[in-house]
Amino acid sequence: MDNATLKERILGLVPDAEFQENKQFLTFIIPPARMLDLAVALKTETDLAFDFLFCLSGVDMIKFLEVVYHFESTIHKHQLALKVRVADRENGSVETVSNIWRTAEFHEREIYDLLGIRFNNHPDLRRIFLEEDWKGHPLRKDYVDEVNIVEL
Amino acid sequence: MKEVINLPVKNIEEEEYHINMGPQHPSTHGVLRLVVSLQGEIVKSLKPHCGYIHRGIEKMCEKDTYPQIIHLTDRMDYLSAHINNHAVCLLVEKALEVEVPERVKYIRTIIDELNRIASHQLWWCSFGMDMGGLTCFFYGLRDREKILDIFEESFGSRLLHSYYTPGGLMMDIHPNFQKGVKDFIKYFRKKIKDYDDILTGNIIMQERTKGIGVLTKEDAISYGVIGPSGRASGFSCDVRKHHPYGVYDKADFREILGNDGDTFTRYLMRMHEMRESMKIIEQLIDNIPAGDYTAKMKAVIKLPAGEYYQRVEAARGELGVYVVSDGNKTPYRMKFRSPNFSNLSALDHISRGVKIADLVAIGGSLDYVIPDIDR
């Protein structure tokens, strides 16, 4: 499916998705409440068949936290990027997609560990790299690095 | 009279218990801890605990300029250091729309493939050693040394090279480079037959790996198991074929795909890949065009504001670099999607129901490098 048709298709599934200009991937900002339904459709609809979640990242944009999903279909070879924005920095959460793409389980744990975004219904949401009693989430822009590990 | 203590006798075959494999276990090839839940010697489930070597590379990147970041990527998957460098270089070149000279593309592709062979050689020796064949370790390291000698002659370092720079290379290749590579290919074509004689055809090894740790194609895609491990399950995921970079589109090579997805197929994939890599190098080594070894770059590299994503095929699978730039000389956010991290997530799934000794073989066939998982 080419990008123009794919754009129509996504907007058909989620009418309030916001299209974002990007040179490389077709990118949409999805309202958090609509993400799970869309994720199921992306995986199961045969003309979409986004079966490979090749990257899942979190970004701290200061005004909000962002989860970025990069999808590829191994059948149709088309690609898609989705973003979900979390406004609440303290208790913000996103629905997990780890039951749809199993690779998300580790990546979501990583995002929770380093950026502090919670994932609802995640099977095992623990810190993955840092210790359980670590305070704060290092990749947030307001994180204070008291022991000065990074700046040397 | 002696008091008899009546301890309840527990049947070890029925009761579930946990053991820690690692963080200092030779088969984890680094500091990875696997909490294995066992019933008898059958693995019921397994929880990987990572982070023992987490250095916060993504956080460090936010303070560093792009040429400095190259040096950090060496330290992720240190066995495919060149390929990691390549990812960042390609990303910067794509963002700045810089066209690198053909010479650079050829040299980079050849060195990437040499790096892949060196990495697979080390995998082969450690895999053999995990299975109890110490001879493999000496054979593999002996041949890997030849590649490291070529690297040392051209760029002065053997493991962490940081040879690629955004726009080109740090310096031109050594005059002996082409001859050295050709001699190596000639040498290794003979020696790889020994590899097959020692390990591939070994009946003990085959019995221990065939049908063990089976990963279906659907699961491989869902878990994001990529590289030779994913291709063993039939998941066509070679970035060199699907999203070519360098001069891979000019080289004639096959994407090796397996069917069974077991430990033995994952082993075979890498053996075939070494041969394919040699084929690519042979096609390119005599055709390196003359020219500059670097494009003209500004002294301070600033990426235009926006998002960039670059995929390359590292020795263990697809390495993705995701950058959010705000127009400064340091990235706003840099994320490395490392192949080992996703490959590790499938370990629990594929090792359920196998014997604990087979877990060592499965781990060896997934070929994880811990600094790449922890970053």
**Stretches in chain A below the pLDDT threshold 70:** 148-152
Interface test with B, best of A55, A70, A71, A142 (most B CBs within 10 A): A55
Distance from CA of B218 to the nearest CA of A (A): 9
Between CA A113 and CA B250 the distance in angstroms is: 43
Categorize the per-residue pLDDT at B187 as very low, low, confident or very high, splitting at 50, 70 and 90.
very high
Between CA B260 and CA B216 the distance in angstroms is: 8
Omega before B48 within 30 of 0, i.e. cis: no
Residue B37 lies in a domain: no
Q: Chain B residues with CB inside 8 Å of A70's CB?
A: 309, 320, 322
Residue with tokens 């670059």: B310
Per residue in B333-372, pLDDT (tens digit) is 999 988 988 888 888 888 888 888 888 888 888 888 888 8
CA dihedral A82, A87, A93, A96 (to 10 degrees): 0
The percentage of chain B sitting over the pLDDT mark of 70, rounded to a whole number, equals 96
Residue B24 lies in a domain: no
Give the nearest partner residue to A70 out of B235, B309, B333, using CB atoms.
B309
Q: How far is CA B80 from CA A28, A127, B124, B317, in A?
A: 34, 28, 15, 10
Averaged pLDDT, B298-322: 88
Q: What is the CATH number of the domain that holds B71?
A: 1.10.645.10
Q: Is A59 on the interface with B (CB under 8 A)?
A: yes
This prediction's pTM = 0.87
Q: Is B78 on the interface with A (CB under 8 A)?
A: no
Q: Is A151 on the interface with B (CB under 8 A)?
A: yes
Instruction: Note whether B333 contacts A151, CB cutoff 8 Å.
Output: no
Which residue on chain B is closest to A73 by alpha carbon?
Answer: B221
Instruction: Note whether B224 contacts A103, CB cutoff 8 Å.
Output: yes
Question: What was the ipTM of the complex prediction?
Answer: 0.88
Give the nearest partner residue to B309 out of A25, A51, A74, using CB atoms.
A25
Q: Is B189 on the interface with A (CB under 8 A)?
A: no
Averaged pLDDT, B102-118: 90
Class of domain A3-90: alpha beta
Instruction: Note whether B223 contacts A128, CB cutoff 8 Å.
Output: no
Q: Which two tokens stand for residue A20?
A: 């974002």
Q: Is A23 on the interface with B (CB under 8 A)?
A: yes
Interface test with B, best of A128, A144, A152 (most B CBs within 10 A): A128
- What is residue A62's three-state secondary structure? coil
Q: Chain A residues with CB inside 8 Å of B332's CB?
A: 59
Q: Is B42 on the interface with A (CB under 8 A)?
A: no
Q: Is the pLDDT of residue B210 over 70?
A: yes
Averaged pLDDT, B54-59: 87
Q: Is B64 on the interface with A (CB under 8 A)?
A: no
Residue B138 lies in a domain: yes
Q: Is the pLDDT of residue B8 over 70?
A: no
Residue B6 lies in a domain: no
Number of domain units in chain B: 1
- The b-or-e profile of B156-182 (16+ CB within 10 A means b, else e) is eeeeebbbbbbbbbbeebbeebeebbe
Give the nearest partner residue to B56 out of A68, A70, A149, using CB atoms.
A149
Residue B239 lies in a domain: yes
Between CA B88 and CA B99 the distance in angstroms is: 15
Averaged pLDDT, B26-43: 84
Categorize the per-residue pLDDT at B3 as very low, low, confident or very high, splitting at 50, 70 and 90.
low
Residue B33 lies in a domain: no
Instruction: Note whether A54 contacts B337, CB cutoff 8 Å.
Output: yes
Distance from CA of B342 to the nearest CA of A (A): 6
Distance from CA of B313 to the nearest CA of A (A): 13
Per residue in B150-176, pLDDT (tens digit) is 988 888 888 888 888 888 888 888 888
Instruction: Note whether A22 contacts B306, CB cutoff 8 Å.
Output: yes
Q: Is B347 on the interface with A (CB under 8 A)?
A: no
Per residue in B250-280, pLDDT (tens digit) is 888 888 888 888 889 999 888 999 999 998 9
The pLDDT of residue B238 is 87
Q: Is B112 on the interface with A (CB under 8 A)?
A: no
Q: Is the pLDDT of residue B5 over 70?
A: no
